[in-house]
Amino acid sequence: MAVLGSSSSRSVAVVGAVFVLVLVLDGADVCNGGKTSTYVRKEEKAVDMPLDSDVFRVPPGYNAPQQVHITQGDHVGKGVIVSWVTQDERGSSVVRYWSENSEHKLEAKGNVHRYRFYNYTSGYIHHCTLRNLMYNTKYYYEVGIGLTVRQFWFMTPPEVGPDVPYTFGLIGDLGQSFDSNLTLTHYENNPQKGQTVLFVGDLSYADNYPNHDNNRWDTWARFVERSLAYQPWIWTAGNHELDFAPEIGENQPFKPFTHRYHVPYRASNSTAPFWYSIKRASAYIIVLSSYSAYGKYTPQYKWLEQELPKVNRSETPWLIVMLHSPWYNSNNYHYMEGETMRVMFEPWFVEYKVDVVLSGHVHAYERSERVSNIAYNIVNGLCVPVHDLSAPVYITIGDGGNLEGLATNMTDPQPNYSAYREASFGHAIFDIKNRTHAYYSWHRNQDGYAVEADSMWFFNRVWNPVDDSTSV
């Protein structure tokens, strides 16, 4: 037994211990990522606002237009789609509009329709596109012509160009809870005034109510009218827009969403409203659908394959992609649900140097470093994301405040591609300064309006492709 204490055996033991320590340290380097916030929030389930809340109030007057909202109406920002609902009767589908410094009022005529969903019949849904507007101009507009007239206004964006500053708000998975109201209030009061919202899906959560209660589409649209009537929200379809319910005879996916929220998809040669693109100021924005077919040869795949080469980074240097289900997600909630789409499209995102990918779905906040995982080919074992300066930053912003509550169950340890993550409700701002720099900030609802819980300077991948990592 004395041989166990010999110098040779002790050397072997020391070498083995060092080897194990190296493995542990090496594993820590691979697995441990950026910062998981230590912020402690109250563990409370989100609660929907009662139906008699003032945010859901129907505007006064006979057949008064309600649920007024606007979005971009063409590819370059000179068009606006105005939408609203009348409840008592069809009424007029005309929009009267004029620029701030003009007394000459113009009129555009839209169309109107209704839809049925199970035992619900919608009001009269109006959509009207205003075309050939002047850039960087304040317009007033009126709806409800002939009965109860309501007036609103909006600003058109600056002309498309490489150094045009522009500020986007980022919101997702909003719903209609007290937390939803806080999110929208914080966005409205943020000193960095957003000019357009990039909305990454999951609007009303009507499908969470018995029989997909479509009255909840109406209450949600009245709730958000205070923002949507005055600035465009750019729409992404999420899983809560599917409303696929064969058990009650509803077999048409996206039925309420497509009737209520029109987008200018034909302007970018898309064949469906779930994937499309727009230019706005110095940004080229591509919207994709996580819940439409995207495999090879499908319409969405073919469209994106043809769309990416069209992006002229000398004209629109900032390339932003919106989709609902995140590709890089270190939360156990919806973990890896976006993986098949990532496998299909990530090589293109790297090739065309997408600056940022915005997603929702996970009810928490997370920002990645610039990483890619495109080397893996089934047999080579190269299945770990790597630092890649040609890759986008992935931001999950599904923290709007819906009744399903926060996703607090995060993977441990935090992976190295994850720069910052936190289970709190909030919104973000993407503030483009010029072709080389954009300032990004995330704001949690519990803080003051100007407080930034997370932030970074984005360096454009084409015009300033230096390392903008924020974690060691």
- Secondary structure of 141-167 in HEC code, one letter for each residue: EEECCCCCCEEEEEECCCCCCCCCCEE
- Residues 6+ positions from 347 with CB-CB distance below 8 Å: 374
DSSP-based three-state secondary structure for 132 = coil
The most distant pair of C-alpha atoms in the chain lies apart, rounded to whole Å, by 105
Q: Which has the closest alpha carbon to 191: 440, 426, 424, 429? A: 429
What single-letter DSSP state applies at residue 242? -
Give me the residue label for tokens 């709007």. Answer: 400
Q: Which has the closest alpha carbon to 280: 165, 202, 445, 377? A: 165
126 is catalytic: no
Annotated catalytic residue within 212, 334, 361, 427: 334
Residue pair 114/121 in contact (Cβ under 8 Å)? The answer is: yes
Cis peptide leading into residue 246 (ω within 30°): no
The token pair at 393 is 């930053």
Amino acid at the residue 442: W
Active site residues: 334
